[in-house]
Amino acid sequence: MKKNNTDKVFSKKLISNFSSSLSQDKRLYKEDIELSIAYSKALAKINILNPKEQRSIEKALKNIFKEIKNKKFEWRPELEDIHMNIESRLHDLVGPYAGKIHTGKSRNDQIATIERMYVKNSILDLFSKIETLQKEIVLKAESHLDFVMPSYTHLQRAQPILLSHQLMAYYEMLQRDKARLLNCYEISDELILGSGAVAGSFYKLDRNFIAKELNFKKINSNSIDGVSDRDFIIEFLSSIAISMMHLSRISEEFIIWSSEEFEFIELSDDVVTTSSMMPQKRNPDFLELIRGKFGGILGNFISLLVTMKSLPFSYNRDMQEDKKPLLDSVDEFSNSLVNMTQIIKKSKFNKDKLKNATDGNILATDIADLLSLKGMPFREAHIKVSNLTKKLKKQGKVISDLNSKELNEKLDVDFNLKIDLFKSINSRKLKGGTSKVQVKKEIITAKKTLKL
């Protein structure tokens, strides 16, 4: 008999642990308590709570917030989720009328609302961190306007550019990331509370009042959709994944540039490690970690998408699994932004190595363009210069080895053809080009945008 009781207790504990979401959703305590305070005020407006009860509940909820924040709150896993834990503690503090706080409210519309609140708060924080990273990029670009380097296509040297032009490409990527986050904020900015479990509330709640209290711009129009929708999280995780992919690309570029084969950039000591075996190594571990974390963030996005794809309307317990990918992606992306900001801030660029890498055939396109300006069809000019590079290669030479006279002779042209690295760069004067004038304009615009 004793064994059977033990088995029952063990079974009950096992089931409780399996169904509990507390380990994740307790992170949402701030939003949950804010919602409960606003809801207590709404209940007071329809006389479910009297003024004294409402004030008492609000005070107790604020005390619970302090307890959780100061790590003095006793979480009870057997109560399954954050809502039940807070409501139980509220009962301890104010007595039986604490149960009134659940009048007309379901955990379905409550979690859908606090997750939207969390997403909105997270977006504001991530937006700020992206802007901090952008500021470091823009400042680095502004202070390196006289650094030249090769641009690359297919990881092959292409045309000469300013280093600042390359850095500002990162800025532009992050601008799009911010725009996506703002769109996610707009999508999330809709109050679900008042939808009840699925069919809407029986009580005459003032949803406009609740929306104002909780800083929601809109109120949902369909209770079924409201409690079953997780599109706003999927959209958010998609945006994070795209932005994390951008950080991964920057990381990859810096990893290549910091190698002994390139030596374009020197990373600070606090973001590299030595090998456990080879003492000479400076491994770009932090950049590799940022690059590596993209896989997990992409997995989080796919995970929730797959969870939702076959669910009938409206709420299903599967949706409890939305918190793990949400919280993990926010944490990893946030940390990656902070670390990338420090990496860029402390990195040093090797001016000579960057410029020396422009030796070779990097001005080949400029020569073809000059021939074209003299009346030669561009396709013919392209072939002519291509053949020249092939002949020079057989001789162990490149275009930069030739002086102006030699270049003219080998191309067999009857005019003085001159090419110059800085002339090439500054000839790209159209908006979006690499000329110093255009890059300066881009930096000035960016500084105004960022209020730098």
Residues with a known catalytic role: 154, 275
Among candidate residues 85, 62, 61, 65, the one with its CA nearest the CA of residue 75: 85
Q: Are 61 and 33 in contact (CB under 8 A)?
A: yes
Cα–Cα dist 94/56, whole Å: 7
CB 133 within 8 A of CB 337: yes
Which among 196, 443, 191 is positioned nearest to 315, based on CA atoms? 196
Contact (CB, 8 A) for 97 and 49? yes
Beta strands per DSSP E along 112-246: 148-153, 156-162, 190-191, 218-219
Nearest to 426 by CA among 170, 173, 172, 164: 164
Token code pair at residue 264: 């374009």
Helices (H), 309-420: 323-346, 351-356, 364-373, 378-394, 404-411
In DSSP notation, 229-267 reads: --HHHHHHHHHHHHHHHHHHHHHHHHHHHTSTTT--EE-
